[in-house]
């Protein structure tokens, strides 16, 4: 009986799964829940591409194994449907974002089914639908009520091409992450979420998470906890003080000047009349620079003297006060004490403006000739009573002294900034706020949500939100005084939509509440979250913050949304570059599916690349995987041909391989090491085939071994495995059967491989019990076909048997 596998098999089983509801999630099930989540997909116009198969097809392998292991797997899918690409596409083509997005979603839903992934589509969500963004707006209002959403004028990153502000996280090396235009700085009134209130908890919580170390490091770095001291310097001729923030207070005696950020509020007060023009010009010149430009280490330092002097808190010395853009207004106190001998930036600045450089730390290592700036720890010199102290000790002693004389305090700063959530674009969730001349900022009452995004909008961006040109949307009545009001016309950053979608999946059709608390408690947290590492500093931090904020409002339980995180690697173009349409190096999976079927393609992806590392695309191994399928066909065909014959002897060696394979595949899939798992299955297949062909005839086979084989294969090749499973006489889905279990005592074999030689030449090998007697060994060997034909008509002169290794027949 011939077995064929093709895309027809795929369709047969996809239809079968759909009609039997195989992937329906049953919340009432008594089995242990397991929430498997892949990051949202973005409904782009393109057909399903390689990345989708890679992300969604392969994580499905893990999910299927878990299902067979007896978990009640919750595996939803949906669409992150708001955002700039659809809006920019609309600007190019005139197709309304709502229409293009909806069309794309329909195509993608259809295509995602062809991957054969186990989604329960009843739980699908789309963030651009009012049923969803009603609750995005609701979350905004909850945060607003608790003071966690606020509005302020602030210098923001402005992308001149996208015509919108960007969060710090969306600026990559000074450029817009979407369009790569150079980002500018602008003063604007914007909405922020107070993520900084959670800085410490977001940092601490990382210790509890089973996430890749690199990702935790990125988050730690982004949160940027810094432990230091605020130090006060009085200003000559003024009552106020300049407060600086330093992490190196032990260098206090080496301060030779102070630097304020150009936008520091004291600048205009203390600048002398002679320096006024120069200082103001400098302020104007630096106003549009972004933080990235300003903090660049390679950029030449610039600055101006204010004409003012301050007094060193311990030595009482007079120090000049300068301004420079390398000091940021938004970090620490916006002012630094410059120690040019021990800080790179201060050193560059001091050399350029010929300011004194005073060395106060020298290396512990006597043989070391100090090159300035010397930024390591060491021993204090030129520091009066502190001379001879080590850096660490001096830090404590000097800080104590400053505290005692009321000139200092210990301080913790974070690099993390509040999350800027307003965008001046059309295709997003409207911010549910009304401005009233009389009442000020008025939140839209919850029972009036959603604030619907109007359809008929001229969405050409012009610096203001396109919604500001929609009279009907804009003008409304104030919920407080019933007088005239104007709506907020900015929309929410799409990262707000994606910061809570995993909660809505749990209860996507609830019209009363964002989710049912009982269901939430039953399903949260996400047990395995899969997505790209590019989300390390944005989505993954935002979602953790929102989850914690909602917990404090009583809407979630537990402290973290995603306990386990896996980053898939990236499949690059065959040129080693990131795949992109503009580079013309994208790969379409369609031809491969057409030619080989979904399972060969899935298995090839899983086998040909490391899921966690990715790599450049090549299809050179796909034929080998196809032939692996052909070879698998043969072992099943042979079995089916002999299924009704009597059973042969069982083979302990094969049983050992079986149990070893079960163990290895289970462990590898658990770790997302799919490629090695498949290599094991290939070895197992070879062992089965060898056994079947032993003695040159079909050995009647134990069904048990084949059943285990197909079940181990099933997560990788779900359609093919269902087909085989059915042929083996099963009436229910293979995915309703259980995952094979190995027996510890079967892992070590009590068999050895013996080489059979004739006149010292290897002829064949056999597996045999370790304690086989020479007599039995000889009998078995002489019955092997390879040997029979060699000694036919010859005389055996001698037999040499080396226990556990070989048997050699000397013949003539």
Residues making contact with Zn ion (CB under 5 A): 436, 438-439, 478, 480-481
Contact code string over 370-399 relative to ligand ANZ, x by CB under 6 A: ------------------------------
Q: Of 331, 547, 596, 739, which lies in the binding site for ligand ANZ, with binding defined by CB under 6 A?
A: 331
Select the span of 142-150, 240-248, 298-306, 786-794 touching ligand ANZ (CB under 6 A).
240-248
| Residue whose structure tokens are 């097809």 | 57
CB of 549 closer than 8 Å to CB of 201: no
Alpha-helical (H) ranges within 260-336 are 267-270, 276-286, 291-295
The least distance separating ligand ANZ from the CB of residue 73, rounded to whole angstroms, comes to 44
The least distance separating Zn ion from the CB of residue 443, rounded to whole angstroms, comes to 12
Q: Which is nearer to ligand ANZ, 175 or 413 (CB)?
A: 413
Provide the pairing of β-strand 257-260 with 440-443. Answer: unpaired
Q: Is there binding between residue 332 and ligand ANZ (CB under 6 A)? A: yes
Phi and psi (nearest 5°) for 422? -90, 145
Q: Who contacts 461 (Cβ-Cβ below 8 Å, separation ≥6)?
A: 91, 162, 163, 164, 424, 425, 426
**436, interface contact from ligand ANZ, Zn ion, none, CB < 5-8 Å by kind:** Zn ion
**57, interface contact from Zn ion, ligand ANZ, none, CB < 5-8 Å by kind:** none
**438, interface contact from Zn ion, ligand ANZ, none, CB < 5-8 Å by kind:** Zn ion
Cα distance between residue 356 and residue 359, in whole Å? 10
Select the span of 13-21, 178-186, 324-332, 674-682 touching ligand ANZ (CB under 6 A).
324-332
Whole-angstrom CA distances from 686 to 146, 270, 682, 691, 693 are: 64, 84, 6, 9, 10
Q: Which is nearer to Zn ion, 442 or 700 (CB)?
A: 442
Q: Which is nearer to ligand ANZ, 324 or 699 (CB)?
A: 324
**248, interface contact from Zn ion, ligand ANZ, none, CB < 5-8 Å by kind:** ligand ANZ
Select the span of 4-12, 243-251, 460-468, 620-628 touching ligand ANZ (CB under 6 A).
243-251
CB of 201 closer than 8 Å to CB of 548: yes
Q: How many CB atoms lie within 10 A of CB 463?
A: 12
Would you say how long the chain is, in residues? Answer: 812
DSSP 249: G
Q: Which is nearer to Zn ion, 478 or 503 (CB)?
A: 478
Residues 651-670 that bind ligand ANZ (CB under 6 A): none
The least distance separating ligand ANZ from the CB of residue 265, rounded to whole angstroms, comes to 13
CB of 1 closer than 8 Å to CB of 640: yes
Size of the site for ligand ANZ (CB under 6 A): 17
Q: Is there binding between residue 413 and ligand ANZ (CB under 6 A)? A: yes
Select the span of 42-50, 244-252, 444-452, 522-530 touching ligand ANZ (CB under 6 A).
244-252
Q: Is there binding between residue 328 and ligand ANZ (CB under 6 A)? A: yes
Cα distance between residue 323 and residue 271, in whole Å? 10
The least distance separating ligand ANZ from the CB of residue 13, rounded to whole angstroms, comes to 56
Q: Is there binding between residue 16 and ligand ANZ (CB under 6 A)? A: no
CB of 671 closer than 8 Å to CB of 566: no
Q: Of 111, 163, 234, 247, which lies in the binding site for ligand ANZ, with binding defined by CB under 6 A?
A: 247
Q: Is there binding between residue 336 and ligand ANZ (CB under 6 A)? A: yes
Give CA torsion, residues 140, 142, 147, 150, to 10 deg. 10
Q: Which is nearer to Zn ion, 479 or 569 (CB)?
A: 479
Q: Who contacts 44 (Cβ-Cβ below 8 Å, separation ≥6)?
A: 85, 104
Residue 92 parent element (H or E): helix 84-93
Q: Could you tell me which residues are beta bridge partners of residue 256? A: none
Q: Of 6, 226, 363, 585, which lies in the binding site for ligand ANZ, with binding defined by CB under 6 A?
A: 226
Q: Which is nearer to Zn ion, 217 or 481 (CB)?
A: 481
The least distance separating ligand ANZ from the CB of residue 168, rounded to whole angstroms, comes to 15
The least distance separating ligand ANZ from the CB of residue 125, rounded to whole angstroms, comes to 40
DSSP 609: S
Q: Is there binding between residue 417 and ligand ANZ (CB under 6 A)? A: no
Select the span of 93-101, 163-171, 331-339, 479-487 touching ligand ANZ (CB under 6 A).
331-339
3-state secondary structure of 494: helix
| Residue whose structure tokens are 């089916």 | 640
3-state secondary structure of 226: strand
Q: Which is nearer to Zn ion, 172 or 480 (CB)?
A: 480
Whole-angstrom CA distances from 361 to 312, 638, 744 are: 18, 81, 62
> Apex CA 64: angle with CA 60 and CA 65, to 5°?
120
Select the span of 94-102, 156-164, 246-254, 630-638 touching ligand ANZ (CB under 6 A).
246-254
Cα distance between residue 812 and residue 806, in whole Å? 20
Phi and psi (nearest 5°) for 362? -120, 155
**480, interface contact from ligand ANZ, Zn ion, none, CB < 5-8 Å by kind:** Zn ion
Q: Could you tell me which residues are beta bridge partners of residue 230? A: 245, 409
Half-sphere exposure of 8 (CA within 13 A, CB side): 3
Output the six-digit token pair for 811.
């013949």
Q: Could you tell me which residues are beta bridge partners of residue 733? A: none
Residue 58 parent element (H or E): helix 58-68
Residues 43-72 that bind ligand ANZ (CB under 6 A): none
CB of 779 closer than 8 Å to CB of 794: no
Q: Which is nearer to ligand ANZ, 44 or 246 (CB)?
A: 246
Q: Which is nearer to Zn ion, 482 or 812 (CB)?
A: 482
Q: Which is nearer to ligand ANZ, 247 or 610 (CB)?
A: 247
Cα distance between residue 409 and residue 404, in whole Å? 9
Q: Which is nearer to ligand ANZ, 309 or 331 (CB)?
A: 331
The least distance separating ligand ANZ from the CB of residue 251, rounded to whole angstroms, comes to 4
Contact residues for ligand ANZ, defined by CB under 6 A: 226, 245-248, 251, 327-328, 331-332, 334, 336-337, 339, 342-343, 413
């Amino acid at each position: 009986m011939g077995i064929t596998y093709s895309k027809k098999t795929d369709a047969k089983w996809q239809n079968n799964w759909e009609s039997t509801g195989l992937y329906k999630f049953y919340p009432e099930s008594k089995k242990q829940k397991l929430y498997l989540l892949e990051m949202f997909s973005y409904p782009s116009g393109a057909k399903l591409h390689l990345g989708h198969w890679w992300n969604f097809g392969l994580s499905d392998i893990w999910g299927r194994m878990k299902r067979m292991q007896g978990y009640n797997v919750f595996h939803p899918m949906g669409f992150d449907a708001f955002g700039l690409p659809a809006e920019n596409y609309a600007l190019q083509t005139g197709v309304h974002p709502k229409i293009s997005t909806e069309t794309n979603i329909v195509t993608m839903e259809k295509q995602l089914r062809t991957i054969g992934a186990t989604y329960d589509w009843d739980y699908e969500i789309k963030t651009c639908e009012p049923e969803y963004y009603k609750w995005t707006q609701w979350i905004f209002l909850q945060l607003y009520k608790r003071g966690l959403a606020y509005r302020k004028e602030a210098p923001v990153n402005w992308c001149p091409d996208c015509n919108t502000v960007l969060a710090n996280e969306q600026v990559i090396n000074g450029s817009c992450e979407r369009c790569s235009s150079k980002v500018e700085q602008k003063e604007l009134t914007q909405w922020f979420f107070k993520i900084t209130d959670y800085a410490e908890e977001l940092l601490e919580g990382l210790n509890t998470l089973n996430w890749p170390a690199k990702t935790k490091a990125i988050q730690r770095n982004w949160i940027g906890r810094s432990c230091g001291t605020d130090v006060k310097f009085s200003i000559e001729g003024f009552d106020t003080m300049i407060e600086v923030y330093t992490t190196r207070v032990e260098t206090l005696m080496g301060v030779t000047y102070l630097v304020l950020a150009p936008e520091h509020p004291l600048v205009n007060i203390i600048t002398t009349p002679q320096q006024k023009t120069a200082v103001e010009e400098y302020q104007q010149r630096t106003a549009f620079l972004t933080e990235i430009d300003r903090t660049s280490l390679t950029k030449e330092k610039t600055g101006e003297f204010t004409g003012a002097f301050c007094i060193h808190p311990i030595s009482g010395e007079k120090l000049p006060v300068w301004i420079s853009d390398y000091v940021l207004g938004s970090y620490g106190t916006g002012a630094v004490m410059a120690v040019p001998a021990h800080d790179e930036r201060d050193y560059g600045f001091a050399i350029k403006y010929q300011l004194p450089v005073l060395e106060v730390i020298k290396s512990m290592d006597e043989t070391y000739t100090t090159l300035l700036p010397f930024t390591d720890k060491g021993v204090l010199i030129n520091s009066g009573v502190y001379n001879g102290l080590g850096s660490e000790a001096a830090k404590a002693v000097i800080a104590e002294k400053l505290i005692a004389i009321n000139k200092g305090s210990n301080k913790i700063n974070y690099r993390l900034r509040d999350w800027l959530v307003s965008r001046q674009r059309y295709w997003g969730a409207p911010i549910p706020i009304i401005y009233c001349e009389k009442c000020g900022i008025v939140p839209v009452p919850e029972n009036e949500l959603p604030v619907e995004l109007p359809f008929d909008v001229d969405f050409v961006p012009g610096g203001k939100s396109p919604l500001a040109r929609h009279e009907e949307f804009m003008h409304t009545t104030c919920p407080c005084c019933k007088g005239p009001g104007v709506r907020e016309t900015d929309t929410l950053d799409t990262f707000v939509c994606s910061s809570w979608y995993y909660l809505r999946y749990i209860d996507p059709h609830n019209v009363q509440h964002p989710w049912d608390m009982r269901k939430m408690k039953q399903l949260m947290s996400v047990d395995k979250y899969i997505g790209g590492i590019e989300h390390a500093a944005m989505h993954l931090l935002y979602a953790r913050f929102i989850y914690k904020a909602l917990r404090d409002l009583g809407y979630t339980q537990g402290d973290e949304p995603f306990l386990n995180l896996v980053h898939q690697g990236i499949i690059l173009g065959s040129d080693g570059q990131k795949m992109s349409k503009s580079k013309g190096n994208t790969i379409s999976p369609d031809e491969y599916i057409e030619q080989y079927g979904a399972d060969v393609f899935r298995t090839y992806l899983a086998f040909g690349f490391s899921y966690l590392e990715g790599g450049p695309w090549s299809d050179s191994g796909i034929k080998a995987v196809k032939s692996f399928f052909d070879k698998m066909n043969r072992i099943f065909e042979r079995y089916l041909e002999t299924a009704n014959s009597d059973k042969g002897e069982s083979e302990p060696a094969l049983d050992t391989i079986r149990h070893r394979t079960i163990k290895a595949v289970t462990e590898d899939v658990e770790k997302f090491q799919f490629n090695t798992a498949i290599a094991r299955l290939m070895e197992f297949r070879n062992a089965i085939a060898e056994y079947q062909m032993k003695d040159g005839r079909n050995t009647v086979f134990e069904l048990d071994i084949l059943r285990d084989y197909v079940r181990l294969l099933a997560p990788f090749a779900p359609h093919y495995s269902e087909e085989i499973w059915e042929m083996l006489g099963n009436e229910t889905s293979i995915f309703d059967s259980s995952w094979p279990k190995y027996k510890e005592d079967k892992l070590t074999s009590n068999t050895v491989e013996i080489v059979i030689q004739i006149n010292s030449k290897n002829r064949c090998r056999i597996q045999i019990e370790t304690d086989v007697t020479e007599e039995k060994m000889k009998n078995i060997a002489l019955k092997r076909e390879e040997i029979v034909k060699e000694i036919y008509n010859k005389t055996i002169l001698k037999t040499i048997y080396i226990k556990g290794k070989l048997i050699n027949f000397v013949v003539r």
